[in-house]
């Protein structure tokens, strides 16, 4: 019954929606350009000198990307690229806007523009080089090793602001390998689970009403998960551990269709959260800040409180771009972790909801891609990537707005940070690749017989 909804293949000559994408891209470029002009007018009373360059540059980048998508992934989802462009463009404007505050240190926008360009280049490379996402399946175990290496690397570098998540390369700057590990480990999970999912789901023992898989099936994946988690706890990067954990549970659940995994996962995660929260001083402070956001610390207003004040002062419609005081959030991260506070203060509740809905829409398109994908690997990879993206958005936005304790992660596309923006462009590229395969009219690459058979069985 649901089979007809799972795939967008209808008949020959289905519209590929590339023109829709182009139309949306026009808005995705125009909105940040207007925002840029708005900041300039508000801060200096004149349209910023770089407006034309910025507008033309962003437009060119979008055009080239669009043309390449037309060529290499003609059936890809039409919404993801415009949304990513819009979020990235807005992020750049917001960072430039915060650059106008001398108290927040040196200018970051030009660098971020460079990283964004690299991100788009990587996006294009992925689309051009990975002709079919199933190629990635071949690299399951290589991905595993690579992900672990990327996770371990920062241990050898000094901690920055209490978290060992950075590696600094002389001449290039610092990188957050965790952002890339996120994608690579998803590839591993998808590849591994696709092979083992039947064993995990069916060859299980019943313990206390729950189906537990055999050790030999579960073992490797649990070990990888535990190792990655340990490394993350050691690096005191709680946000990423939470992300990996959620990713792992979601993918296991989708692969095995066993609800017991959810129970199992929730138990493990709450145990882990309690253990970490009670042992790590770094995390303890965060929890205290969350419980008492407005409490003074040594008579001074905390960053957490400043962020909350920024949101509250924004109200329904905000102060207008460039007219807020989010610079008061001193500390380390007004341009990265706390960038949403600037959105909240200057664009108001309306603007913040719009931004969150953009993220929601991007996640929805990712999950739709997973539903539409015809092969289990594609399904798993797509749900892993979009589920992880959703968790990241939730953890960051929830942390900044005080829904959950704050963890050090960055808002995808918007926040300042090279690794994040590059990795997320790659993520969108993979999702586009999967959706292109999924939405392509029927006959072209013969769908895997395995996948078809599985689907029929599952959907009875």
Partner 1 sequence: MNKPLRRVAVFCGLLVLALLVRVNYVQFVQADQLSNDPHNRRVAINQYAQPRGNIIVDGKAVTGHTETNGSDFKYKRTYTDGPMWAPVTGHASQAYGTTMLEGVEDKFLTGNDDRLFFNRTIDLLTGKQRQGGNVVTTLNAKAQKAAFDGLGDKKGAVVALDPRTGAVLAMASTPSYDPSGIAGYSTTDEKNWIALDKKNDPNDPSLNRALRQTYPPGSTFKLVTAAAALETGKVTDINAKTTSPDPYTLPGTTTPLVNEGHLQCKDASLRNALRQSCNTVFGNLGANIGLKGMVDEAEKFGFNKEQTIPVRADASNFDTKMSPDQVALSSIGQFDTAATPLQMAMVASAIANNGVLMQPYEVDKLVAPNLSTISQTDPQKMSQPLSPENAQKLQSMMETVVTDGTGKNAKIPGVRVGGKTGTAQHGVNNDKAPYAWFVSYAMTDQGSPVAVAVVVEDGSANRDDISGGGLAAPIAKSVMEAVLNK
Which residues contact partner 1 by CB under 8 A?
2, 6, 250, 253-255, 257, 294, 296, 301, 305, 308-309, 311-316, 325, 328, 344, 348-349, 352-353, 356-357, 359-360, 363-364, 367, 370-371, 376, 379-380, 383, 386-387, 390-391, 393-394, 397-398, 401-403, 454-455, 458-459
Given the complex with partner 1, which of 192 and 394 has the nearer CB atom? 394
Structure tokens at 351: 């603007």
Give the number of other Cβ atoms within 10 Å of residue 282's Cβ. Answer: 15
Residue with tokens 């407005």: 294
Structure tokens at 339: 């960038």
Given the complex with partner 1, which of 286 and 365 has the nearer CB atom? 365
CB of 35 to partner 1, least distance (A): 19
Structure tokens at 385: 């990537």
Contacts 24+ apart (CB under 8 A), 93-96: 93/32, 93/35, 93/36, 93/39, 93/321, 94/335, 94/339, 94/342, 94/343, 94/414, 95/335, 95/339, 95/416, 96/36, 96/39
Given the complex with partner 1, which of 188 and 394 has the nearer CB atom? 394
**CA quadruple 38, 40, 44, 47: dihedral sign:** negative
Structure tokens at 63: 């055009």
User: E strand or H helix at 452, and its extent?
Assistant: helix 449-458
Given the complex with partner 1, which of 92 and 255 has the nearer CB atom? 255
CA distance 8 to 379: 14
| 75 phi, psi to nearest 5 deg | -100, 10
Given the complex with partner 1, which of 172 and 316 has the nearer CB atom? 316
CB of 66 to partner 1, least distance (A): 27
Q: Is 279 exposed, middle or buried (0-12, 13-18, 19+ CB in 10 A)?
A: exposed
Residue with tokens 């360059």: 53
- Residue pair 89/29 in contact by the 8 Å Cβ criterion: yes
Structure tokens at 156: 């050898």
Burial 359-372 (b: 16+ CB within 10 A, else e): beebbebbbbbbbb
- Residue pair 52/40 in contact by the 8 Å Cβ criterion: no
Angle (CA) 386-390-393 rounded to 5° is: 135
CA distance 182 to 247: 9
Given the complex with partner 1, which of 22 and 94 has the nearer CB atom? 94
Give the number of other Cβ atoms within 10 Å of residue 158's Cβ. Answer: 8
Residue with tokens 């909804």: 5
CB of 95 to partner 1, least distance (A): 21
Given the complex with partner 1, which of 199 and 349 has the nearer CB atom? 349
Given the complex with partner 1, which of 150 and 341 has the nearer CB atom? 341
Given the complex with partner 1, which of 154 and 384 has the nearer CB atom? 384
Q: Which of 277, 267, 251, 266 is closest to 380 using CA atoms?
A: 251
Given the complex with partner 1, which of 20 and 257 has the nearer CB atom? 257
CB of 435 to partner 1, least distance (A): 14
Given the complex with partner 1, which of 175 and 396 has the nearer CB atom? 396
CB of 415 to partner 1, least distance (A): 16
CB of 4 to partner 1, least distance (A): 11
CA distance 398 to 249: 20
CB of 140 to partner 1, least distance (A): 18
CB of 281 to partner 1, least distance (A): 25
CB of 220 to partner 1, least distance (A): 21
């Amino acid at each position: 019954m649901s089979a007809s909804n799972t795939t967008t293949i209808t008949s020959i000559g289905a519209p590929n929606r590339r023109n829709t994408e182009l139309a949306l891209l026009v808005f995705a470029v125009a909105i940040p350009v207007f925002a840029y002009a708005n900041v300039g007018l508000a801060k200096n009373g004149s349209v910023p000198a770089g407006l034309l360059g910025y507008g033309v540059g962003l437009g060119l980048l979008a055009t080239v990307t669009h043309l390449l998508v037309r060529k290499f992934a003609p059936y890809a989802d039409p919404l993801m690229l415009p949304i990513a462009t819009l979020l990235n463009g807005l992020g750049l404007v917001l960072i430039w806007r915060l650059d106008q505050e001398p108290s927040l240190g040196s200018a970051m926008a030009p660098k971020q523009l460079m990283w964004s360009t690299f991100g788009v280049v990587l996006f294009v490379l992925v689309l051009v080089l990975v002709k079919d996402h199933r190629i990635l399946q071949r690299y399951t175990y290589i991905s595993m090793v690579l992900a672990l290496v990327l996770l371990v690397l920062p241990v050898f570098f000094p901690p920055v602001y209490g978290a060992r998540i950075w590696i600094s390369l002389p001449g290039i700057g610092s990188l957050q390998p965790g952002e890339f590990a996120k994608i690579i480990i998803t590839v591993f999970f998808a590849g591994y689970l696709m092979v083992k999912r039947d064993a995990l789901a069916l060859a299980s023992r019943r313990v206390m009403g729950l189906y537990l898989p055999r050790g030999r099936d579960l073992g490797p994946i649990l070990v990888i998960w535990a190792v990655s988690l340990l490394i993350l706890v050691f690096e005191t990067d709680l946000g990423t551990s939470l992300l990996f954990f959620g990713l792992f549970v979601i993918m296991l659940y989708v692969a095995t269709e066993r609800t017991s995994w959810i129970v199992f996962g929730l138990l493990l995660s709450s145990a882990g959260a309690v253990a970490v929260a009670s042992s790590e001083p770094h995390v303890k402070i965060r929890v205290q800040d969350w419980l008492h956001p407005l409490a003074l610390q040594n008579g001074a207003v905390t960053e957490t409180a400043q962020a909350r004040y920024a949101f509250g002062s924004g109200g329904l419609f905000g102060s207008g771009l460039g007219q807020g005081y989010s610079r008061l959030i001193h500390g380390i991260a007004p341009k990265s972790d706390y960038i949403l506070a600037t959105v909240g203060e200057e664009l108001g509740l309306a603007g913040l909801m719009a931004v969150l809905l953009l993220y929601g829409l991007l996640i929805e398109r990712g999950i739709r891609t997973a539903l539409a994908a015809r092969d289990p690997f594609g399904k798993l990879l797509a749900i892993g990537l979009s589920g992880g993206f959703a968790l990241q958005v939730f953890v960051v936005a929830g942390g900044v707005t005080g829904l959950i304790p704050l963890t050090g992660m960055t808002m995808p596309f918007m926040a300042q940070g090279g690794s994040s923006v590059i990795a997320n462009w790659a993520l969108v590229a993979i999702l586009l690749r999967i959706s292109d395969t999924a939405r392509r009219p029927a006959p072209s690459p013969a769908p895997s017989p395995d996948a078809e058979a599985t689907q029929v069985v599952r959907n009875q």
